[in-house]
Every structure is written in structure tokens, then in C-alpha cells.
Amino acid sequence: MNIPKTRFAPSPTGLLHFGNIRTALFNALLAAKQGGVFLLRVEDTDAERSRDEYVVALMRDLRWLGLDWQEGGDAGGAAGPYRQSQRGSVYERFRALLEERGRIYPCFCTPLELEMSRKTQASAGLPPRYSGKCAHLTPREVEAKRRELPHSLRFRMPKAEVIEFEDMVRGSQRFPADEIGDFIIRRSDGSYAFFYVNALDDALMGVTHVMRGEDHLANTPRQIALLQALQLPTPRYGHISLIVDQAGAPLSKRSGSLSVGELREMGYFSLAILNYLGRLGHRYESSAFLDFAGLVAGFSVERLGRAPARYDRAQLDFWQAQAVLGADQPTLTRWMAEEVREWVPAERLPEFAAAVRANVLFPRDARLWAEAVFGDGLPLSAEARAVLEATPPDFFRQALAVLEEPLEFKEFTRRFGAAAGVKGKALFQPLRAALTGQLHGPEMPPLFALMGWERIRRRLAAHVLNTAID
């Protein structure tokens, strides 16, 4: 029995985005859940658009996300090479086998002829498929045309058959072969088409399960017919829902799709992204923040949905907040260190990180609180200004009188509240506004300790004299 094997097979024509990542994630989870192998294959047959820098980037991004592959890429394996641009001899060998079996034929139709045929079919309400014009040329006609015209190679679909398979996500699928039409496996420039190389590589590399977007569903009967003609094993297919934006259109960069590199630069934790995408079109029984082992344990093909998966940035940020709250102290301090280095003394960084973690989503948020605590404070928010304008100067004179010596925040507010006869919001809101410029934010006791006695006295005094004092 074959070891369960899934694969991620990106084309290196751009950076990984949400759709790519989720496909990779589901394949990695399925392989791990079954104790199998996750394979990485680079489908770089598009010579004009494929770039080596994208290959480097996608491997870096997958590793950063924790989606490690056990075969392919730079991990090696017995079924390589794992870049399609290096597998030309393999494709030629099986092309010759198809020709020997009479399953392919040359097509001399020009792009203009094919376009006109599609328009004619569309006007008649028919699905676009090849008319079969070149399928019955005699050997003499083929030889004559080959001397004068470029040609592609088409696969002969089996006629009067129904191609059936059980989709792991969408259940039983039936496709009448007559409605599909003969498709191109090699273009007139000699390059091989996706239908052919993708299916062939899956079979030759021992891939047992293929999880991919539902936009590939119509490709599947073609690939099954091709593998059957070559007497090669057919993997199990599962077609996952597409990710759409709030308007229901395919998610694009314009509507919020971000690359892995952009997410990393913004400060997202990799596990926040995986927790979000793992639930985008898939239902987990647990609502807790999960590590990768937890994501594997809770993954089930049966809980994959068929409806479009709607992208929600607020949900992504919810999981980012959970990641920040759950990060260990060294990870948290490293995450924000560069952004706050200008303000936070190195020896105070762990203390500062612990104080603000519940109020930051990204390192840039930590930078704001670093300025608030160790810098000149934040500009007054409108609501903080309103509170301070309603607070009499005597409030801050009394506060300074109580704070003639260093005190912890709890003791300071106890003494000050008793002396001034104030409590609750009337006590705490003016103090927070004066010290931070905001009415909301991290808990005041740790901020108070980080600011230090002298800085606190200067800020309180500024609201008595309307200027800062030394």
C-alpha cells in the first residue's frame, strides 16, 4: 500500500497569497493527519513568467509558515527532479507512449479558427470544446500539413463514456466525455500544457491525494482520462472552495489579498495566519488558538465546506491578537524589539512587552506605546482632551503633593483618592489622559512603573502650569 502523499505545486510566477497558502496548508494538514508525506513540486513550465527569485521566495514563505515538505524542493526524493522545467525527457517518453497507443493526434487549427469556433458554439448555447476538425486526418494529410504548418498535439477523449470519480469534498462527480472535447497536451511551440504535466507528475511521484481549488474541478475528468490511457494510478481529488471578498468576487490584491512577505513584514505571526486560514472553508470543533499539532489533530476532510469562503480581515486580526497574547516572553520581545529600540531601554524591554501585549496587534502598535511611556507621550485624543479640560488644575496639584516620593500606582491612587475625595472614573480617567494622552490602553500599574517617578511628575505638572517642568 502506498504511503499517503499530498502535494503543493505552485507556479513561480508571483508571490504566495491567501489562496496559495490555504491550499498548501490543507495538503500539509491532510498528509500529517494520515502520517504521510507532503511534497513540494515547482511547476515552472511558463518560461516567460517563471522566475528563480519566486522559487526562493515561496520556499522561504512556506518554511516561515511552518509548512515543511518531506519530499521535493531542496528535500530531495526518488521521484525527481521536482521542477517541471527539468522533466522534459519524462514528458517526451510518455508522449511517445500516447502516440503509440493512438491517443494523441496533431492539430493544425490556428488560434483564429479556434476562436471563431468557440464564438459559434457560444452563440448556439453550447459549451466551448474542440470541434474535432483535425481528429480524422489521414496520415498523408498529416504529413503534408506538417511540412507547412505548426501544430499542437491533442489527446483523444474516449467517446460515449462517462468519467466518474468521488470528490473528497464535493461527493460523486460525473462528466460525459463527449461534452469535454479533445484537449491540447503539447503546444505548437513544443511546451507541454498543464493538463498533461500536472497529472503525469502526480502519478509518477506517487501522489495519492490532491487538494486544490474548485476552479480545477473541470480539469479533473481530462486528467483522469489521460492517466487511464497511460495506465497510471489516479490520485483522489478534493476541490476546496475558493476564497472570495466581501462582495463575493474572487479575492484579489485590490480587495485585500496579501502576500506572505507582506504579512510577515506587517508583523503577523505565522500561527495566526494558519489558525485563520485553517478555519476559512473548514470547521474546527475547537475555537481555541491551536499550534500546528493542534491544527493537524482537528483537521478533517469531512468538515471542508462547499460554499465560497469569505475573507474577513477582522477575523485574521482576531487570531493575530490570540497569537500575541499566547507568545512566550522571548518571542514577544524579539517580535517588537526593532520597532521600540529607539525608546525602550534594553533592560526594560521584557517588562514593557508584558505591559502592552494585550493592546498591540503589530510591532508598530508597540512603537506607539513606547513613545507614550518613554518619549514625550502621545498627542491627546479628542476624548482625553475633553476629560482634561473638565478637570480642575487643583486635581493635579493634589496629585503632585501625594507623589512627593516614588510610589506604586495602587498606593498612589489610594492615597490620592482619599486626599482629593475622588474615585472611579473621576480619579482614573484624568490620570490616564494626563500620563498617556489616551483614555484607553494597557493597564496603568505597569505603565506607571515603566514611566518612573520623575517623568510622571513632569507630565502631571504640565497640567498645572500648562507647560513641562524639569
The DSSP-derived string for 178-242 is: GGT--EEEE-TTSPBPHHHHHHHHHHHTT--EEEEEGGGGGGHHHHHHHHHHTT----EEEEEPP
Q: Where are the domains of the chain?
A: 5-74+196-244, 97-186, 253-326, 332-465
pLDDT tens sequence across 49-76: 999 999 999 999 999 999 999 999 899 9
CATH topology of domain 332-465: Arc Repressor Mutant, subunit A (1.10.10)
Q: In terms of Cα–Cα distance, which of 14, 25, 46, 59 is closest to 259? A: 14
Strand spans (E) along 404-453? none
Confidence of residue 253 (pLDDT cuts 50, 70, 90): confident
159 confidence band (pLDDT: 50, 70, 90): confident
Q: How large is the average pLDDT for residues 322-333?
A: 97
CA–CA distance, 434 with 461 (Å, rounded to integer): 9
Segment among 78-82, 207-211, 393-397 with least mean pLDDT: 393-397
pLDDT at 376 over 70: yes
C-alpha span between 93 and 197 (Å, rounded): 12
**Model confidence pLDDT, tens digit, residues 189-209:** 999 999 999 999 999 999 999
Residue 446's nearest CA partner among 436, 438, 437 is 436
Cβ neighbours around 410 below 10 Å, total: 11
- Please give the Cα distance from 93 to 91 (Å, whole number): 5
State residue 464's pLDDT score.
Answer: 80
The whole-number pLDDT of residue 92 equals: 97
Per-residue model confidence (pLDDT) at position 452: 94
**What type of residue sits at position 333?**
T
* pLDDT attached to residue 429: 96
Question: According to the model, what pLDDT value does residue 121 have?
Answer: 85
Task: With a cut of 60, say whether residue 265 has pLDDT above it.
Answer: yes
pLDDT of residue 128: 86
Tell which residue, 41, 1, 6, has the closest CA to residue 301: 6
What band does 468 get if pLDDT is binned at 50, 70 and 90? very low
What's the pLDDT score for residue 469? 36
Q: Would you say residue 263 has pLDDT above 50?
A: yes
pLDDT, tens digit, 9 for 90 and up, residues 160-192: 789 999 999 999 999 999 889 999 999 999 999
- Percentage of residues in the chain having pLDDT higher than 70: 99
Phi-psi category of residue 107: left, alpha or beta, with phi > 0 → left and psi -120 to 50 → alpha: beta
pLDDT band with cut points at 50, 70 and 90 for residue 257: confident
pLDDT of residue 153: 97
Cut 0.95: pTM above it: no
CATH superfamily of 253-326: Glutamyl-trna Synthetase; Domain 2 (1.10.1160.10)
HEC string of 100-146?
HCCCEEEECCCHHHHHHHHHHHHHCCCCCCCCCCCCCCCHHHHHHHH
pLDDT higher than 90, residue 433 = yes
- Average the pLDDT over each of 121-125, 348-352, 365-369 and give the range with the smallest value: 121-125
Q: What is the pLDDT of residue 179?
A: 87
Q: How do 104-107 and 71-72 pair as beta strands?
A: unpaired
The answer, yes or no, to whether residue 463 has pLDDT greater than 90, is no
For the record, the C-alpha cell of 88 comes out as: 522534459
Specify whether the backbone of 321 is left (phi greater than 0), alpha (psi in -120 to 50) or beta. alpha
Band (pLDDT 50/70/90 cuts) for residue 48 is: confident
Q: Give ∠ CA 303-309-314 in degrees, rounded to 5.
A: 110
Residue that has been written with the C-alpha cell 476629560 in this structure: 387
DSSP assignment letter at 40: E
Dump pLDDT digits (tens) for 91-134. Answer: 999 999 999 999 999 999 998 989 998 898 888 888 888 988 99
Q: Is the pLDDT of residue 422 over 70?
A: yes
Going by pLDDT thresholds of 50, 70 and 90, the confidence category of residue 1 is: low
Tell me whether residue 188 is exposed, middle or buried, using C-beta atoms within 10 angstroms of its C-beta: 0 to 12, 13 to 18, 19 or more: middle
340/344 Cα distance (integer angstroms): 6
Mean per-residue pLDDT, 277-297: 97
As a whole number of Å, the CA-based R_g of the chain is: 32
The pLDDT value given to residue 363: 97
Position 465 scores a pLDDT of 62
Mean pLDDT of the chain: 94
Joined together, the cell numbers standing for residue 431 give 490620570
Look at residue 267 and tell me whether its pLDDT is greater than 90.
Answer: yes
**pLDDT at residue 255, rounded to an integer:** 79
Would you state the pLDDT for residue 466? 52
State the DSSP code for 303.
G
Q: Which CATH number fits domain 97-186: 3.90.800.10, 3.30.70.120, 3.10.105.10, 3.30.2000.10?
A: 3.90.800.10
How many residues are there in the chain? 470
Which pLDDT band holds residue 470 (cuts at 50, 70, 90)?
Answer: very low
Is residue 467 within 8 A of residue 442, CB to CB? The reply is no
What CATH number has the domain spanning 5-74+196-244? 3.40.50.620
